[in-house]
Structure 1
């Protein structure tokens, strides 16, 4: 195979990164398929909801001069027999020799009646922008979900709108995935910002006036921000790829599908296993690691070499808490807190750097992914 055709499905952080690497460092014809014609910095959506400006970069401008082809449309079908991707809107099918599945994840709102219609999913840029507009007149806002995205959203909203009633709904205890020191710091920040917290609370319904909880009580709000979980698209399962119980593509230690060796999966849509069998969590950091590993695996196999497996030994959560505070929590791969926690302004500086690298620099200089991942 002298000039392989590589199709990359999805132009999020991982898709853009691996497409840039493959286009720059192989002789392949690389086509990126994405439903939008712009690159969205999803890690900044909570800032958008809180009224901060967010830049959306044109994918055509981003790919200009790289040799990457852009096909804008929704993927309706992957024909693994013909090795072809079918798109909506009359876009011509994309043929491939190697396929990189990087469709990421999306907000999980279907599990709760009314959530899709009556809440603003922070994982969707358009909905985060709509929440920003709603906050111009809303006197109260409730954030559902107390994971890292929920914490970043509720603290940004509380800081941006100190005259509004801000509430956080947590399914468990606030910060129960953090170390004791990190939890103590989180509680101090939440108290300082005046956020009302409902712990061990499950939402069973959303309506125009707010939320209904499992104990029968109501959490009334003019606006509801939804951060309670993510799910992956059903396309991989529909295609017949081997998937796990969440619908993520099951891949080997080189990010190659265990059922279809011409397909690689990276980011949130992949169940990426490390050498000891543990699965990487969803998130931008692990996603970029998987992109780097898949890039090395693809280029190695094209050159007739045996690729190196994914090597990851630890992880960390970097959570901003407004503009001037945050928590950096080192963790094991299974999410258990470990090591020394850093809090305060140094974390906000680190988070700004992470956002800048992933959202501004890496799309233009994808080699940073390889340097940061140290894969190969």
Structure 2
């Protein structure tokens, strides 16, 4: 293998970073060159953004430091154009990089465009900077005895609401959700979650569709209004339009359509991973989480390493294992699941769950560091039969 094969990885989130580091080790004797492109030099721990939003300080991890010793070249900049026919990307509208293989790992961000007023009056957890702005506003609201609303009852919204309520015990926190928070959990785990919300004083507005976000309120579709001195929006995500704009086959959400080996169905030299890929298995579609994203990165790094050596590859297999949810710094609930993410009977709560959740949140950085020296697996469950056979 010559050293002319160039792999470019777009995005240095959880999946892009892991694929670059693992691929560097898997191809270290082949001469393959790897370039990782990302707008910021800071590695963002998306699993901990709710902690920053509540006013906590997190460690500042730098991408060049995480890549040290791997041989991966880091380019700081935003990809502004992708030309798949020419196999080129443009960074910041000026620099052009060619590639032989592309790993598309641009991930997702909060969708602030579907509901009027969100973009103007709500905060998001998309970056340490945006979470920090919310934390600053939160301090002001807490000082005046105001009300904070968290819109979106998914795992991110639950973690944010409980973190805020615990950090600011005198603050009124309202969690606004169209669906039942924790609805994907089993009965016992969900009951524990609700007791924690009640203990922390979080007010629930369930079955509530947000019609508009105002400077001082959240307007609901049924005509009611919820006072809001600060609104944190966690309801819904969107992906970069870069792939669709470049003519790469995508679904109606803009996710790259991939085959069984996570390669673009229209441009097989492009591998899509994490939130950027529309991945379907026998039991259904994978949803965007770190739990599923890291295995797609591991699989893709191994797949590219095999392809450059002329070896055959097997289809991607994955099954979910758990739903870990922090409830502030001193409580958590872990729902263990079947491969298709439906709940098992087993769940974990209290201090054991806190330790488990902290292990999960910190595992990506540990994985990157260890992956420089050994092959570390992130696929806890392959789903056994469920990933290979269509459910009856």
Misfit runs of 4+, over 6 Å: none
Verify the 8 A CA contact 1:267 1:286 in the aligned structure 2: yes
Distance in 2 of aligned mates of 1:303 and 1:153? 45
SS at match of 1:257: coil
Matched with 1:94 is 97
Distance in 1 of aligned mates of 2:58 and 2:105? 23
Matched with 2:200 is 193
Distance in 1 of aligned mates of 2:60 and 2:117? 29
Matched with 1:290 is 296
Please list, as runs of the form range in 1=range in 2, the aligned pairs for 1:1-376 lying within 5 A after superposition: 2-3=2-3, 4-26=5-27, 27-88=31-92, 90=94, 92-138=95-141, 139-274=146-281, 276=282, 278-358=284-364, 360-366=365-371, 370-373=376-379
Distance in 2 of aligned mates of 1:374 and 1:28? 29
| CA deviation map 1:334-375 (0-9, x unaligned) | 4322231222221110111112111x3223233677423279
Pick closer, same or farther for the CA change 1:2–1:278 going to 2, 3 Å.
farther
Distance in 1 of aligned mates of 2:380 and 2:205? 42
Distance in 2 of aligned mates of 1:17 and 1:194? 38
| CA deviation map 1:186-227 (0-9, x unaligned) | 111011011111010011111211211101111111111111
Distance in 2 of aligned mates of 1:45 and 1:285? 16
Is the deviation greater in 63-72 or in 361-370?
A: 361-370
Verify the 8 A CA contact 1:37 1:72 in the aligned structure 2: yes
Q: Offset at 1:236? A: 1.2
What's the TM-score, normalizing by structure 1?
A: 0.95
Pick closer, same or farther for the CA change 1:374–1:147 going to 2, 3 Å.
closer
Distance in 2 of aligned mates of 1:175 and 1:126? 28
Verify the 8 A CA contact 1:105 1:231 in the aligned structure 2: yes
Verify the 8 A CA contact 1:268 1:287 in the aligned structure 2: yes
Is the deviation greater in 328-337 or in 242-251?
A: 328-337
Pick closer, same or farther for the CA change 1:314–1:375 going to 2, 3 Å.
closer
Pick closer, same or farther for the CA change 1:369–1:161 going to 2, 3 Å.
farther
Verify the 8 A CA contact 1:30 1:68 in the aligned structure 2: yes
Verify the 8 A CA contact 1:18 1:366 in the aligned structure 2: no
Q: Offset at 1:39? A: 0.7
Verify the 8 A CA contact 2:320 2:341 in the aligned structure 1: no
Pick closer, same or farther for the CA change 1:140–1:279 going to 2, 3 Å.
same
Q: Offset at 1:24? A: 2.3
| CA deviation map 1:127-168 (0-9, x unaligned) | 111111111110221100110000100000000000111110
Verify the 8 A CA contact 1:203 1:211 in the aligned structure 2: yes
Is the deviation greater in 207-216 or in 62-71?
A: 62-71
What's the TM-score, normalizing by structure 2?
A: 0.91
Pick closer, same or farther for the CA change 1:236–1:369 going to 2, 3 Å.
farther
| CA deviation map 1:17-40 (0-9, x unaligned) | 110111222131111111112111
Distance in 1 of aligned mates of 2:12 and 2:369? 13
Distance in 2 of aligned mates of 1:314 and 1:143? 27
**Unmatched 5+ stretches in structure 1:** none
Is the deviation greater in 333-342 or in 118-127?
A: 333-342
Verify the 8 A CA contact 1:253 1:309 in the aligned structure 2: yes
SS at match of 1:109: coil
